[in-house]
Amino acid sequence: MRTGWTLGSTAQKMAEDSANHAVVAALAPICVQKFNQAAESPAKLVALKKVDSWEQDTFIVKGGWATFPGNAKPYHNVATACAHILSGAK
């Protein structure tokens, strides 16, 4: 636990990190669900697992599973978490 004072910029960074974590935690399971409901998802899962771990987020982004209604761009942090879940990484 932190004690004492915190700079405004540090507090802002902490708040942004917390919000980002919450977004990822909420959207990653939806990404997984979208992936699993896609056509040929078992074959796509095999393909995902063949991709190097540091490129799996790109696989998820290209598949469109980390892009949500109202957003033109995918959430890369969600893609990373989604790939992590799908690949069964520890």
SS3 state at 25:
helix
**Long-range contacts made by residues 62-69, C-beta under 8 angstroms, separation at least 24?**
63/35, 63/38, 64/34, 65/31, 65/34, 65/35, 65/38, 66/27, 66/31, 68/27, 68/30
State pLDDT tens for residues 33-69.
Answer: 999 999 999 999 999 999 999 999 999 999 999 999 9
Q: Hey, how many other C-beta atoms are within 10 angstroms of the C-beta on 38?
A: 14
pLDDT for res 63? 97
Percentage of the chain exceeding pLDDT 90 = 72
CA 90/CA 85 separation, integer angstroms:
9
Domain ranges of the chain: 12-87
Whole-model pTM over 0.85: no
